[in-house]
Amino acid sequence: MKPSSPNHDLSTLSCQHLSGVGQRIAERLARVGVYCVQDLLFHLPSRYQDRTRLYPIATITPGDHVVIEGDIITVSTPKAGRTKLLCRLEDATGRIHLRFFYLSTQQMKSLKVGTKLRCYGEVRLGMYGMEMIHPEYSLVTQEVIIPVDENLTPIYPTTEGLSQRTWRKLIAQALQLMTSGSLLQDILPTAVLQKLSFPTLTEALHFVHSPPSDAPLELLIEKKHGSQKRLVFEELLAHRLSLLNLKNLFQVQQAIPLPKTSTLTTQFLQLLSFQLTSAQQKVNEEIDNDLCRAHPMLRLVQGDVGSGKTVVAALAVLQAVGQGCQSAVLAPTELLVDQHCNTFKKWFEPLGIKVVMLSGQVKTALRREVLNDIATGQAQVVIGTQAIFQKGIAFSKLALIIVDEQHRFGVQQRALLREKGVHENHYPHQLIMTATPIPRTLAMSVYADLDCSIIDELPPGRTPVVTRVISNDRRDEVLARIKDACKSGRQAYWVCTLIEESDVLQCQAAEETAATLHAALPELKVALIHGRMKSSEKEQIMHAFKNGEIHLLVATTVIEVGVDVPKASLMVIENAERLGLAQLHQLRGRVGRGAIESHCLLLYQAPIAKFAKERLAVMRETTDGFKIAQRDLELRGPGEVLGTKQTGDIALRIADLVRDSDLFPAVQQVANTFLQNYQELVTPLIKRWLRDSERFGQV
Ligand code: ADP
Ligand code: MG
């Protein structure tokens, strides 16, 4: 270590202070958000290896990661396959194969019969019994006895150019500084630690970075050790506080109040062909309360597919119109933009309200006109994809933004949107609508900055969809069902799923399926819709499907959200096992919209894993989106449920929203205590855990 005075503040002390950290390493550390020594200490191991003891070969089983030692008794170089060298290793208790994939000539030479090896690796069951696949190894000679490690070996998440060795060396120095009296603030008050029986921060960090050899490995691996739980708790607390902070910040911002003008609303409800359900009324009132205030609304409306969110959105838009303000309605796909545009025009034009659509497909001359209408305020309602905000569209007086069906809509997007919508120091109200039911515990931690409303009732007259899980072998039966249904005047969807990243491949596969179905069912009108078609083409096809001119619509998952065709009563989903339950639920929501009984057939490719079949069975058993989401959460994890894996919206380091959900109530409680009694600790805590927190703080 470089010479130093002992009492540093580790939250400001740069990593460059440590020995072995020059410009180059510092840059690499910065890539993973590590700048100060405190950052290093909070760079937590993702897993552990146990190299603290030697295992007799007879005691190990497939799946173990262990150290073994023995003599090479045979060596062979297989002709086929990737294996370069196959050895047999023997100790006093048993034998195992070692399979090496790449070795230098020097290494090849050293691995010969009679050599004693110490190996570390994963044990698997191979063709000849137990194997270790490409183990790390060292030669054991009479003179040098290699000691086993004293502590469990932490494995750190890393980036190119930073080896595990480097991490370990740097973190060891950081721990050293921490224990020799440098400042690392324990942000959790003693009372909280005692109540939850948590160790101190120093103890916890020491333990997770350098667990003693007798530490319970199982617990550690599952991240359920007390030291880990303490850190998990801190992390969840930091996230919750950052969201609550954000919420408080919004509450002092200004917005244009949008109280109801009774004439418009009454007129609208009179023209509407149905009565609002009581759930819709309740949510409408909650929104109304928000909109009357001079601060921006930030409300999430959850409602299962078909629960009637659109009309609730329309009522909010009317309040903006009534106050002479504009609204923007954002949908994730052009298909949905088209549909909303038609719905809103149908509802609003009789009331003399101008609705315009802004999509990539709107061409130059028309586009100029539309932009002009938006800038002058002529257009009161603007419908488009999120892209409309990226192009710096000028509104005359935007007061309300509605975001429909965006499950990939995180804190950052929400923040960005309000920034874009700000006008003369007034922020727009935001209403976010989703059919992806979010289990309550999860919503509490991920959407703590939003107020939530739930439409927990479907409009009357719906018949639940009957779901069946069918093997692909029985395709003929499925085709017969489609034929029957279409002959009796119904319509059907056939959904192709291909989890390739490539849009192109997905569309090709759909094209092939459509051709095959067309050949197999010559008496039916089959059409295809997919994400790469022009918006006008898609619109034309959807229009024809709605009018009953198409019997069978072959589609990629573009029809996943929002599309509404009441006469379609049969849906076939191919390779259903590849999709998440939430997504299947969304797809299935496209049928069962009229009074006729609807069916959903989930085709799977046999053979199918028991686990996958269990998941599909959930779909058969329930049509309740919340139950499905809860199961999906248990089976797949929150990143999938929220669709945030890609956007990294809730990038947690040690906490796991499913595993650690038992901590949520305590987190919620302590967060409130912090806001009341420990305001000064909030910022340091958030900074420690959310390194890019400034971004949240600024908005
Ligand atoms: P989602 O919540 O999935 O967005 P929609 O708003 O598209 O649902 O509504 C689904 C269908 O139900 C639409 O055809 C809509 O007109 C109809 N609908 C909505 N509310 C009611 C109601 N209260 N009574 C009858 N039908 C309704
Ligand atoms: Mg909808």
For the four alpha carbons of 176, 177, 182 and 184, in that order, the dihedral sign comes to negative
CA-closest candidate to residue 496, choices 454, 531, 523: 531
Is the same domain home to 446 and 320? yes
Ligand 1 pocket test: which of 269, 272, 274, 305 has the largest number of ligand atoms within 8 Å of its C-beta?
274
Q: Which pLDDT belongs to residue 693?
A: 44
Is the same domain home to 302 and 412? yes
DSSP annotation of 192 = H
pLDDT of 697 over the 50 cut: no
pLDDT of 440 over the 90 cut: no
Flag whether 401 is in a domain.
yes
- Distance, C-alpha 358 to centroid of its chain: 28
How wide is the angle at C-alpha 48 spanned by C-alphas 47 and 51, nearest 5°? Answer: 160
Compute the distance from residue 378 Cα to the ligand 2 centre, in Å: 26
User: Ligand 1, closest atom to CA 307?
Assistant: 2
Among 94-98, 146-150, 189-193, where is mean pLDDT lowest?
146-150
Residue that has been written with the tokens 């009179």 in this structure: 270
User: Ligand 1, closest atom to CA 305?
Assistant: 3
For ligand 1, atom 24, the nearest C-alpha belongs to: 459
Counting ligands in written order, which one lies closest to the CA of residue 302?
Answer: 1
Q: Cα separation of 226 and 660, whole Å?
A: 12
Q: Which CATH number belongs to the domain containing residue 384 in this structure?
A: 3.40.50.300
Give the domain range for residue 62.
53-148
Q: Which pLDDT belongs to residue 230?
A: 95
Tell me if 250 sits within 8 A of 275, measured CB to CB.
Answer: no
Strand residue runs (E) in 77-108: 85-90, 95-100
Read off the pLDDT of each residue in 647-669 and give the average, rounded to a whole number.
Answer: 75
Compute the distance from residue 373 Cα to the ligand 1 centre, in Å: 29
User: Ligand 1, closest atom to CA 310?
Assistant: 6
pLDDT of 500 over the 80 cut: no
HSE-CB of 175 using CA atoms within 13 angstroms? 17
For ligand 1, atom 10, the nearest C-alpha belongs to: 306
Q: Does the reported pTM lie above 0.75? A: no
Give percent of the chain above pLDDT 90. 43
Flag whether 348 is in a domain.
yes
Considering 361-365, 377-381, 625-629, the range whose residues carry the highest mean pLDDT is: 377-381
Tell me if 485 sits within 8 A of 492, measured CB to CB.
Answer: yes
Is the same domain home to 470 and 574? yes
Q: Cα separation of 460 and 462, whole Å?
A: 6
Residue that has been written with the tokens 């359920």 in this structure: 224
Q: Cα separation of 564 and 582, whole Å?
A: 18
pLDDT of 1 over the 60 cut: no
Q: How confident is the model at residue 646 (pLDDT cuts 50, 70, 90)?
A: very low
Render 19-61 in DSSP notation, one character per residue.
Answer: TT--HHHHHHHHHTT--BHHHHHT---SEEE--SSBPPGGG--
For ligand 1, atom 26, the nearest C-alpha belongs to: 459
pLDDT of 451 over the 90 cut: no
Compute the distance from residue 293 Cα to the ligand 2 centre, in Å: 26
Q: Which pLDDT belongs to residue 503?
A: 61
pLDDT of 647 over the 60 cut: no
User: Ligand 1, closest atom to CA 404?
Assistant: 4
pLDDT in tens, 545-573: 988 999 999 988 776 555 678 788 999 99
Tell me which H or E stretch contains 132. strand 129-133
Flag whether 228 is in a domain.
no
For every residue of 310-323, which 3-state class applies, written as one string? Answer: HHHHHHHHHHHHHC
Tokens representing 330 are 């954002």
Higher pLDDT, 252 or 1: 252
Q: Cα separation of 587 and 262, whole Å?
A: 37
Flag whether 19 is in a domain.
yes
Q: State the angle between helix axes of 625-636 and 610-621 in degrees (0 to 180), rounded to the nearest 10.
A: 170
For ligand 1, atom 12, the nearest C-alpha belongs to: 308
User: Ligand 1, closest atom to CA 343?
Assistant: 16
For ligand 1, atom 19, the nearest C-alpha belongs to: 308
Q: Which of 215, 232, 250 is the last residue of a domain?
A: 215
Compute the distance from residue 461 Cα to the ligand 2 centre, in Å: 18
CA-closest candidate to residue 382, choices 355, 360, 351, 404: 355
pLDDT of 449 over the 80 cut: no
Q: What is the total count of domains within the chain?
A: 4
Pocket of ligand 1 (CB under 6 A): 274-277, 280, 303, 305-311, 435, 459, 562, 564
Q: Cα separation of 248 and 479, whole Å?
A: 56
Counting ligands in written order, which one lies closest to the CA of residue 332?
Answer: 2
Compute the distance from residue 306 Cα to the ligand 1 centre, in Å: 5
Is the same domain home to 312 and 281? yes
Higher pLDDT, 409 or 533: 533
Q: Cα separation of 499 and 427, whole Å?
A: 39
Flag whether 5 is in a domain.
no
Is the same domain home to 335 and 434? yes
Cα dihedral value 168, 173, 176, 178, nearest 10: -100
Question: CB neighbours of 13 closer than 8 A, spacing ≥ 6?
Answer: 36, 37, 38, 177, 182
State in Å, rounded, how far the first CA of the chain is from the last one: 40
Is the same domain home to 486 and 609? yes
Compute the distance from residue 404 Cα to the ligand 2 centre, in Å: 7
Is the same domain home to 35 and 177? yes
Three-state secondary structure call for residue 15: helix
Is the same domain home to 344 and 490? no
Counting ligands in written order, which one lies closest to the CA of residue 337?
Answer: 2
pLDDT of 125 over the 90 cut: no
For ligand 1, atom 4, the nearest C-alpha belongs to: 309
CA-closest candidate to residue 75, choices 62, 60, 90: 90
Q: Which pLDDT belongs to residue 480?
A: 94
C-alpha distance from residue 622 to each of 246, 465, 467, 503, 627 (Å): 37, 10, 9, 31, 7
For every residue of 554-604, which 3-state class applies, written as one string? Answer: EECHHHHCCCCCCCEEEEEECCHHHCCHHHHHHHHCCCCCCCCCCEEEEEE
Flag whether 320 is in a domain.
yes
Flag whether 673 is in a domain.
no
* Arithmetic mean of pLDDT over the chain: 85
For ligand 1, atom 14, the nearest C-alpha belongs to: 564
Residue that has been written with the tokens 């017969």 in this structure: 480
pLDDT in tens, 206-227: 999 999 888 888 888 888 899 9
Is the same domain home to 536 and 601? yes
Compute the distance from residue 561 Cα to the ligand 2 centre, in Å: 7
Is the same domain home to 75 and 21? no
CA-closest candidate to residue 301, choices 401, 370, 379, 403: 403
Q: Which pLDDT belongs to residue 659?
A: 78
Ligand 1 pocket test: which of 275, 304, 311, 453 has the largest number of ligand atoms within 8 Å of its C-beta?
311
For ligand 1, atom 9, the nearest C-alpha belongs to: 308
For ligand 1, atom 23, the nearest C-alpha belongs to: 276
Q: Cα separation of 646 and 412, whole Å?
A: 13
Is the same domain home to 589 and 516? yes
Ligand 1 pocket test: which of 307, 333, 347 has the largest number of ligand atoms within 8 Å of its C-beta?
307
Q: Cα separation of 285 and 307, whole Å?
A: 16
Tell me if 328 sits within 8 A of 384, measured CB to CB.
Answer: yes
pLDDT of 5 over the 70 cut: no
Flag whether 95 is in a domain.
yes
pLDDT of 600 over the 60 cut: yes
Give percent of the chain above pLDDT 70. 89
Tokens representing 79 are 């002709």
Is the same domain home to 80 and 199? no
Q: Which of 622, 643, 670 is the last residue of a domain?
A: 622
CA-closest candidate to residue 37, choices 170, 165, 155, 166: 170
Q: Which pLDDT belongs to residue 70?
A: 95
Compute the distance from residue 433 Cα to the ligand 1 centre, in Å: 14
Q: Which pLDDT belongs to residue 131?
A: 93
pLDDT of 310 over the 90 cut: yes
Q: Which of 148, 178, 195 is the last residue of a domain?
A: 148
Read off the pLDDT of each residue in 107-112 and give the average, rounded to a whole number.
Answer: 91
Q: Which CATH number belongs to the domain containing residue 131 in this structure?
A: 2.40.50.140
Q: Cα separation of 620 and 631, whole Å?
A: 13
HSE-CB of 73 using CA atoms within 13 angstroms? 11
HSE-CB of 80 using CA atoms within 13 angstroms? 0
Higher pLDDT, 117 or 63: 117
Q: Cα separation of 220 and 227, whole Å?
A: 9
